[in-house]
């Protein structure tokens, strides 16, 4: 807690004017905007792909499933800098597939997808496991097509879990540093995310500016997490009614 207090104290020492100046700096604004846009994209992709992967891990049967299930946690265990390097090796210059996305916004998106991969899968999996198949069968026997069954039976049951996973992924994506620092190229105004911007400010001897942007990110993170939490409660209450 004390470190946080120091952070807020440092950012406020320059006064409201200084704080405002630091966070309205065009480079900071660009970095924040990019971070938010990419993080939201990461959340959306995770919500869809995470659910699909969780689905095939629970409802499907195929050879090698156990291995696939085990490697899902790899991004948790792998140091983030190694994650960045692995992506750069494959999708960077001289990569074997001939795709070079290094130093682009796509690269940032990919890096964040990598580190946030397990969150939605691991929150959806247990719910899917306990989800009663009889409900789906009942819906099907009443003439519901696969899409209708999904929309009315599966989706409402999974949605709260997806939201929890998305919340974790968002918190992770917005602050990610190690995986992004190598692959993004950190071009100001183009591919510089907020955490890299903060790092740059620290290195160039402007801790007050770094602290101001940090505090802003913290506030955004907490607001979004509270928002997702509220949405989740609303959805579950809505269900029961």
Partner 1 sequence: MRRWPLRIVGLSYLLVVLAAPVGLVFYRAFEHGLGPAWAAVTTPEAKHAFYLTVLIAAIAVPANTIFGVICALAIVRQRFPGKGVMNALVDLPLALSPVVVGLAFLLLYSRTGWFGSWLTDRGIQVVFALPGMILVTIFISLPFVVREVVPVLREIGTDQEQAAATLGASGWQTFRRVTLPAIRWAIAYGVVLTTARALGEFGAVSVISGHVVGRTETMTLHVEAQYQQFDYVGAYSASVVLAMIAIATLVAMTLFKPKEETR
Using CB under 8 A, pick the residue from 12, 14, 21, 55 that binds partner 1: 55
Using rule CB under 8 A, residue 130 touches partner 1: no
Is the Cβ–Cβ distance between 22 and 14 less than 8 Å?
A: yes
- 23-31, 133-141, 184-192, 202-210 -> range binding partner 1 (CB under 8 A): 202-210
Using rule CB under 8 A, residue 101 touches partner 1: no
Using CB under 8 A, pick the residue from 24, 33, 44, 59 that binds partner 1: 59
Q: How far is the CB of 241 from partner 1 (least distance, A)?
A: 27
Smallest CA-to-CA distance from 40 within 149, 169, 206 is with 169
Q: How far is the CB of 1 from partner 1 (least distance, A)?
A: 6
Smallest CA-to-CA distance from 211 within 197, 223, 193, 222 is with 197
Residue 205 tokens, joined: 């001897």
Using rule CB under 8 A, residue 60 touches partner 1: yes
Using rule CB under 8 A, residue 129 touches partner 1: no
160 or 214: whose CB is closer to partner 1?
214
Smallest CA-to-CA distance from 60 within 71, 48, 70, 68 is with 68
Q: How far is the CB of 238 from partner 1 (least distance, A)?
A: 25
Using rule CB under 8 A, residue 133 touches partner 1: no
Using CB under 8 A, pick the residue from 34, 214, 228, 232 that binds partner 1: 214
Using CB under 8 A, pick the residue from 128, 174, 191, 228 that binds partner 1: 174
Q: Can you give the binding site for partner 1, defined by CB under 8 A?
A: 1-4, 6-7, 9-10, 49, 52-53, 55-56, 59-60, 62, 68, 70-83, 85-87, 89-91, 95-96, 110, 113-114, 117, 146, 168, 171-172, 174-178, 181-182, 194-196, 198-199, 202, 207, 210-211, 214, 217-218, 221-222, 225
């Amino acid at each position: 807690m004390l470190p946080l207090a120091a952070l807020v104290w440092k950012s406020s020492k320059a006064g409201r004017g200084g704080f405002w100046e630091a966070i309205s700096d065009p480079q900071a604004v660009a970095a924040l905007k990019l971070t938010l846009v990419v993080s939201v994209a990461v959340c959306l992709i995770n919500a869809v792909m995470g659910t699909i992967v969780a689905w095939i891990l629970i409802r499907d049967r195929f050879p090698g499933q156990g291995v696939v299930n085990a490697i899902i946690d790899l991004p948790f265990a792998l140091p983030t800098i190694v994650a960045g390097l692995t992506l750069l090796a494959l999708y960077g210059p001289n990569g074997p597939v001939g795709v070079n996305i290094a130093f682009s916004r796509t690269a940032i998106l990919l890096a964040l997808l990598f580190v946030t991969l397990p969150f939605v899968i691991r929150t959806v999996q247990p719910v899917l496991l306990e989800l009663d198949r009889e409900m789906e069968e009942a819906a099907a026997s009443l003439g519901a097509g696969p899409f209708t069954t999904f929309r009315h039976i599966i989706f409402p049951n999974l949605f709260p879990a997806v939201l929890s996973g998305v919340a974790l992924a968002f918190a992770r994506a917005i602050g990610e540093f190690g995986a992004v620092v190598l692959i993004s190229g950190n071009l100001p105004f183009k591919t510089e995310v907020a955490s890299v911007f903060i790092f740059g400010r620290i290195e160039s001897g402007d801790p007050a500016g770094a602290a101001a942007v940090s505090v802003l990110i913290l506030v955004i993170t907490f607001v979004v997490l509270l928002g997702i939490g509220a949405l989740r409660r609303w959805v579950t209450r809505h269900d029961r009614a």
